[in-house]
Every structure is written in structure tokens, then in C-alpha cells.
Amino acid sequence: MITVRDISDTARARTGPRAWWSDAVIYRVDVRAFDDSDGDGVGDLNGVRERLGYLELLGVDAVWMTGVLAGPVGKPGQAREVDPILGDLTSFDRLVAETHASGLRVAIDIAVTRHSAEQPEVHEELERTLRFWMDRGVDGFRLGAAPGMAHPADDATHRILRTARAVVGESPQRLIGALVREWSTSLGNLEALDVGLDLGFCAVRFQADAIRATVERVRSAAEQVGAVPVWGLADWDHPRPVTRLGGNTTGLARARAMALVQCALPGVIGVDNGNELGLPESASQDGMIAKSIRAPIPWEGAHAPFGFSDAPGNWSPIPDEWSELTVEAQLANPASTLSLYREALRIRHNHPAFSGDRVEWYGAPEGCLAFRRSGGNLVCALNTAPTPVPMPPGAVLLSSRPLDSEQLLPVDTAVWLV
């Protein structure tokens, strides 16, 4: 077992060349709901591999896959096996090789059972597991369900994160991250992280003051521990932004506006699969209770399951009205949400205005916000007020929906200017 270094050592180990993830766009793939290659109604690793061309077209930098492993660290051996319903190590290795050949990085979840984290053998198991997947080419890890991440910090969390940091730190440019619910209660532990996903941005109200307060809180906390924030608009605990922000055309307009705010911020951009298509939640009837679910990705065609699977009916419900939301339909529509995401990511990657790690806030009308990326001259403005507001000065790079005037920013709209 390695000797766990103290936090100051692990922090120093991260200094050096700028890390690949510092301003990366990471696309989360829920493997089971992405693409079914073998007709059993469940998405799988070969399905992800067959859709790598789509991820290249979208313009992301890395693929983060969830639910790949057979079990958590703490259940012997399971964390070094692929869930058999998704494939095997051969299909995993082929996916990693082709993902790298496409110029993309690969990250996966590794969970640690809560009850077993004060136990020394679990730390040894975690070391073996991390090295096992690094040897197979994995570029990053998210410590899912890590003890203490959702609660005040404790020694178990501290030791788990330091163990992971020490192992991952042996290989340059390997990423370690975790979900962060309360930065303020876990600062000592979080110094072991490269990136932290804060749920506040996934749940923030569509109100300018609330959005600004969340951005300021997350950035301040991340800076204290030297981590990079991950800006995500959805996770398992919160509905997709289209549904959460009002549903129908209002929710879609607001989700598109928040996507531009998200992509204008310095740090890691997390795109939950389906958000780039403007998908809402789909309803499922469980007895007498209607509940929201994440339907599989609609790829092509006019009828469900829209190319997701060849299995008749053996998949989560996909609404038939999603025919206009398929990847195929949106690629052909320059005004689609997919086209907006593609253009936003292209500009973010290539335009010199997207430089600098600081955010400078501008004065803005009530119900609006505006900030500038220091180091570049990008300005992002968002209108959450009930009426149009004056547009900040500058040339428009991109807007979340068409502008009727160069002087006014419409309701539920965001814009990039230089």
C-alpha cells in the first residue's frame, strides 16, 4: 500500500503545465440510455463506440461514462469489472482506443461504499482499482458516492480522497473529481480534487440575482482549494433544464439561454447527454403516480425508439412527439438546439475572447446579468426580466435565439458580445 502524502504535497504535485481539463467540455454518457448495439433494449459500450462520430461533431473534449463498472470499491473485484449488461473488458478497451483515436479523453465513475471507507483493505482495493483502469487508458475518475461528499467532512472522506489523489497523481494529466454538495464543510478534503461538480448550478432558479450568487459562491470556494468548478445544468437529482425551467417553449428558451451562460464561464463545462438536444423529461406511469424519467437518446427516424434500439418495446418510453428532436432532424436545422450547442462549443474553443480565468461583473438592469471574461473581451448578458432590456455594447457573436433588434435583449435570452 502506498504511503499517503499530506495535502500540501498532493497540491504541489498538480502544479506545472496547464491541465487538459481546465477549460474542457466533458460530455456525460449514461451508457444504458445512449445507444443499444445488440438489440436487448439497453444501451451498451459498443453503442457508445458506434456514436463517437457524433461526439466529435458536437465538439466535446472528453467522454465521462456513468454506470460502467460492475460494482463499487468495497465489493471485492467488482470495481475492476465491466457491468456485463454493458459489455466486457474487450469492448471497453476497444472503446477507449477508438475514443483516444478520435482525439477525446475518457473518464469513468468509481464508487466507494460508505460503510467500508475507516477499513484499510478498502484503500488497498481503491489503489488497485485506480491503477487497473489507468493501465487501460482511462484519463479521469469521478469518485461517485464518496463518503462525506454529501455531508460534513470526516476522516474517512479525507483518507479516501488522499489515497485517490496519491495514486492518480503518479500519472501526469490524469483527472480526479467528485460531486460537491457543500464546499464550505469539506474544504480540507476537496484540496485533493482537480474538479468539483457543484449541484447549485443544476438547481439555480432562472433569476439573474440567484444565478450570479451561485456563480460567485462556487468560484470562490473552488479557488480556496485550487480546484476547477464544473458547470453543469442537470444531474440525477434535478430534471433536465427544459423541464425544470418551465417546460414547453418557455423552458426551452431558458435552457438555451442558460447554455450560453454556462459555456461563457471559465472552468469545466459539463454537458449531460440529451441537454444538447433540448430534451425535456419524459413522463412514465408507475401505478397511479406519474414520474419523470430520462428517456434514451433519439437518433433518427419518425417513430420511437428513434434508432436507439432494435428491440421492440424493450426500452424506457420515448415520446413519439420527439421526432423533431432527433439528432438527425436537428443536424439539418441551423436554428435547432443542437446547432446552437455546436456553434457555442466551436466559438468557445477557437475565439480569442474566451481567455482568462476570472469573471468581472457589469452593472445590468434589474432582472439581468452581464459579465466579462478577464484576459479576453467576451461579454455574456442574460435577461431573466419580464420585458426586453437594452443590449450591452459590442458585436454579437452568438445569441440563444434570434434578435429582433441590435438595441434590445429579448426576454429569456442570452447573448455573447465582443
CB 133 within 8 A of CB 171: no
Residue 155 to residues 3, 159, 176, 197, Cα–Cα distance (Å)? 16, 6, 19, 21
| pLDDT over 80 at 2, yes or no | no
Q: Which of 98-102, 217-221, 267-271, 302-306 has the lowest mean pLDDT?
A: 217-221
- Please tell me the distance from the alpha carbon of residue 138 to that of residue 265, in angstroms, as a whole number: 26
> What pLDDT, on a 0 to 100 scale, did the predictor assign at position 390?
95
44-62 pLDDT per residue, tens: 999 999 999 999 999 999 9
Copy the grid coordinates of residue 75: 465489493
**pTM above threshold 0.85:** yes
CB 163 within 8 A of CB 9: no
What pLDDT band is residue 16 in, cutting at 50, 70 and 90?
A: low
Q: Which of 58, 61, 63 is nearest to 108 (CA)?
A: 63
Distance between start and end Cα atoms, the chain = 53
> What pLDDT, on a 0 to 100 scale, did the predictor assign at position 139?
97
Q: Which of 206, 199, 177, 182 is nearest to 383 (CA)?
A: 206
> What pLDDT, on a 0 to 100 scale, did the predictor assign at position 114?
64
- Please tell me the distance from the alpha carbon of residue 379 to that of residue 157, in angstroms, as a whole number: 39
Q: Which of 181, 112, 123 is nearest to 153 (CA)?
A: 181
C-alpha dihedral, 368 to 371 to 377 to 379, nearest 10°: -20
| pLDDT over 90 at 91, yes or no | yes
Copy the grid coordinates of residue 380: 455574456
Of 119 and 145, which is predicted with more confidence? 119
Copy the grid coordinates of residue 136: 487501460
Please report how many Cα atoms fall inside a 13 Å half-sphere around the Cα of residue 245, on the Cβ side.
Answer: 31
